[in-house]
Amino acid sequence: MSFSNDMALLHFRIQKCFAGEATEQSFYKVQQLEERRKGKRIPKDVSFSQIRFSNCTSELLTKKDNPEDRIVMYVHGGGFTSGNAKSRRDIALYVVEKMHFNVLNINYRLAPKYKYPCAQADVLEQYEYLLKEYGGNIAVMGESAGGNLTLSLPFLCRKEEVQPPKALVAISPVVQYDHVLDSYIRNKKSDPIVDAERSLLSEFFFEHREDRMDPTAAPYYGDLSGYPPTQLIVSDSETLLDDSRIFYQKLKDHRIPCQLIVKHNMMHAFAMTTMFPETRSALKETKKFLDEVLH
């Protein structure tokens, strides 16, 4: 089961951080560990294919009875420095089999070797591919750093004059980098991993300090005119709880259709781990949300 592997990897990360060994070399070791992890096996009734893009290869997961006129693009997390599509097959296959949406489970270039905006460019390229194939009936979904890339995509689409997604689902996203929100302090003990990782993001992900205010990196600072319907999923014990709360409030203030799902005492990005009842409960609401928007 992928959960134990995820936790082992997270412990590795946090030990490196607190031991003062958070160098580029240690981040590469994390990346290599994730690359070796076994993804969930593909069931016989799910079709699997790989699609090559400019800088990465991603996974297309489809099922015969799923609608062919809509799709979900899933964007993995990992602090922009680790993770891959293979390690997120659990949630991707859940969307395919239980929620009945085909999925493009994507990879993208990782920091520290590839800094902002490399990941954003890779996400946009793969989204534009889906636009050609599905005519705009696309939802984008991601967790943690992938949630950030999900929420940032509409601003990149606007900048490049590309049609935005029809719906967004962000699990435990980071939406800004320049303020210490209350939950960063309040939930520091219950969520030490993200607290430690946040302090390193500026060094390993951003080349220039001013990039941290760009909406394609920090969606909270973007103009929400024409922004897609959005669902946010988070735990009340997470460091990033208030990121979801402030972004939800801004969406409401701009009258953007939005939902905020908060579960009690769950780990960071819990909703990518389908073994949890809380995850299945949240994703039941996600299916309703997507059914209403993707029609």
- According to the model, what pLDDT value does residue 35 have? 44
Domain boundaries, the chain: 2-293
- What pTM was computed for the model? 0.88
Q: Which of 282, 268, 286, 277 is nearest to 6 (CA)?
A: 268
Q: Which of 213, 25, 215, 192 is nearest to 120 (CA)?
A: 215
- According to the model, what pLDDT value does residue 14 have? 41
- According to the model, what pLDDT value does residue 22 have? 41
- According to the model, what pLDDT value does residue 209 have? 86
- According to the model, what pLDDT value does residue 39 have? 67
- According to the model, what pLDDT value does residue 70 have? 97
* Architecture of domain 2-293 in this structure: 3-Layer(aba) Sandwich (3.40)
- Indicate if the alpha-carbon torsion angle 141, 194, 86, 277 is positive or negative: negative
Asked whether the beta carbons of 273 and 211 are under 8 A apart, the reply is no
- According to the model, what pLDDT value does residue 202 have? 60
- According to the model, what pLDDT value does residue 159 have? 97
The tokens describing 1, both together, are: 């089961």
Residue ranges, the chain, pLDDT below 50: 1-37
- Indicate if the alpha-carbon torsion angle 109, 152, 181, 210 is positive or negative: positive
